[in-house]
Amino acid sequence: MAASPDTTVRPERARRPSARPRGLAPARGRRADRRAWGAFALLTAPMLIGLGVFKYVAIGWSLLLSLSDAHGTIALGHWVGLDNYRQLLGDPAFRSSLVQILLFTAVIVPITFGVSLGLALLVHRVRRGRALVRTAFLIPTAVSYVAASLLWKMCLFNGLPAGIANMVGGWFGMDAVPWLQTTDPPLYWIVLVTVRLWLQVGFYMVLFLAGLQAIPRDVYEAAALDGATGRRTLRRITLPMLRNTSVAVLMLQFIAAFQAFDEFYNLFSSGLSGTGTAPVQTPLVYLYNTAMGAQNYGLGSAGAFVLTALIVGVTLIQGRFTGFGKGEE
C-alpha cells in the first residue's frame, strides 16, 4: 500500500521579535557612559586638582629649590646643583641629628612594640568591659603632641621639687632632678620616651587587638586538645598568626620615629641652661630651624629629600628582612 501523505498539522514557528534598529542601543550606552564619566570627573576634580597642586607640584618645586640657592624666597634663583646636599651632609649639627634620631628609633620602637603587644594580649583576655578598657588606652592618641609635650614639660618633669616626677621620687628618698637639662646620665631621654609611649601605645594596641580577634578560636581549641597552653600557645600560634600585623606595626613605628618633631621642639624650644641650644634635636627640628629660622629654603628642601631617602631606605630594609609584601608562604 502506498504511504498516506502526512496530514499532520505542524504548529507555526513563533515569529522572532522584530529586531531593533541598528545603532540605537550602542548609542544609548555611549551616552550613559559619557554621563557616568562626566559625573565621576565632576566629583573627583576638586580632590585631584588639590592633590596635584598642593602635593605633587609642591614636591617638584621643592626638588628644584634643593638644587638652587634660595635664601628668603621660594622663587627659583641661582642654580647650585648638589651644593646644598654637600653642605648639609658636611654640617656636624645635621649629622648629629641623624645619630640622635637613629638612637631614638632604636629605643622607642622596641619599647612601644612590646608594651602595645603586651597590653593587647591582656585586653584580649578581658571578657567584660573590653570596650571601656580599649577606649581608655586609645584616648591619649587623640591628644595633640604639642599639648602632651607641654604637659610633660611644665607639670610632670619640670625639674622643680613640686613637679610630679620629683615629688614621687621624693617619697623614695630621691633628690629633685633637672630632667630637661644636660645631666649625666641624660635624663631627658626618659621624658622623650615616656611622652611618645603614652601618645602612641594605645593606637598600636588596637591594631594588635584587631589581629588577635582575627585568629580563629578553633585553632586554640585544637591546640588545647593537644595539650598546648600558656607560653607554648603564644609562641607557636599567636605570634606566628600576628606576623602581618607585627610587620605593619613595625613599619608604622619606624616611619613615625623618623618623623619625630613636636615633642623634641616643644620640650627643648626655650633652650637649656641659658645656652639656647638643645642637647638633642631631630632632622625635622634642624630643617625647621634652617628653613623657617634662617630662611634657607634651598638647604631645607635638600634636607627634606635626604630624610625622605633615609625613611624609604629603612622601610625597604625592614621589608627585606620581614618579608613584607610577599604574602603568605
218 and 122 within one domain: yes
What is the pTM (predicted TM-score) of this model? 0.78
Q: Where residue 238 sits, what CATH number does that domain have?
A: 1.10.3720.10
69 and 164, same domain (yes or no)? no
Q: How many helices (H) and strands (E) does the chain have?
A: 15, 2
Looking at 24, 57, 79, the residue that finishes a domain is: 79
Same domain for 158 and 74: no
Q: Which of 168, 79, 102 is nearest to 307 (CA)?
A: 102
List the domain range (segments joined by +) for residue 210: 91-280+316-322
Are both 117 and 205 inside the same structural domain? Answer: yes
Show the cell assigned to 254: 619606624
| 185 and 57 belong to one structural domain | no
Instruction: Give the end of a domain, one of 50, 79, 108.
Output: 79
Q: Would residue 285 count as lying in a domain? A: no
The answer to whether position 201 is within a domain reads: yes
- 64 and 96 in a single domain? The answer is no
| Backbone dihedral angles phi then psi of residue 58, each to the nearest 5 degrees | -65, -40
Return per-residue pLDDT of the chain as tens, 329 residues: 455 555 554 555 445 555 555 555 566 667 767 788 888 888 888 888 988 888 888 888 888 888 888 887 787 778 888 888 998 888 888 988 899 899 999 999 999 999 999 999 888 888 787 788 888 888 988 898 999 999 998 888 888 888 888 888 888 888 888 888 776 778 888 999 999 999 999 999 999 998 888 888 887 777 777 776 777 888 888 888 888 899 989 999 999 999 888 888 888 874 433 334 566 788 888 888 888 878 888 888 898 899 999 889 888 888 888 776 555 54
Determine the pLDDT at residue 111. Answer: 95
DSSP 140: G
Any domain includes 311:
no
- Is residue 224 domain-shared with residue 247, that is, in the same domain? yes
Query: How far out from the chain centre does Cα 324 lie?
Result: 16
In a domain? residue 237: yes
Report yes or no on 187 lying in a domain: yes
Query: Are residue 132 and residue 244 in the same domain, yes or no?
Result: yes
Could you tell me if 126 and 260 lie in one domain? yes
Spell out the residues 6+ positions from residue 96 whose beta carbon is closer than 8 angstroms to its own: 281
Q: Looking at 79, 105, 131, which one is the last position of a domain? A: 79
Answer yes or no: do 160 and 210 share one domain: yes
The tally of domains found in the chain comes to: 2
Instruction: Assign 3-class secondary structure to the chain.
Output: CCCCCCCCCCCCCCCCCCCCCCCHHHHHHHHHHHHHHHHHHHHHHHHHHHHHHHHHHHHHHHHHHHCEECECCCCCCEECCCHHHHHHHCCHHHHHHHHHHHHHHHHHHHHHHHHHHHHHHHHHHCCCCHHHHHHHHHHHHHCCHHHHHHHHHHHHCCCCCCCHHHHHHHHCCCCCCCCCCCCCCCCHHHHHHHHHHHHHHHHHHHHHHHHHHCCCHHHHHHHHHCCCCCHHHHHHHHHHHCHHHHHHHHHHHHHHHHCCCHHHHHHHCCCCCCCCCCCCCCHHHHHHHHHHHCCEHHHHHHHHHHHHHHHHHHHHHHHHHHCCCCCCC
Neighbours of 74 (CB within 10 A): 15
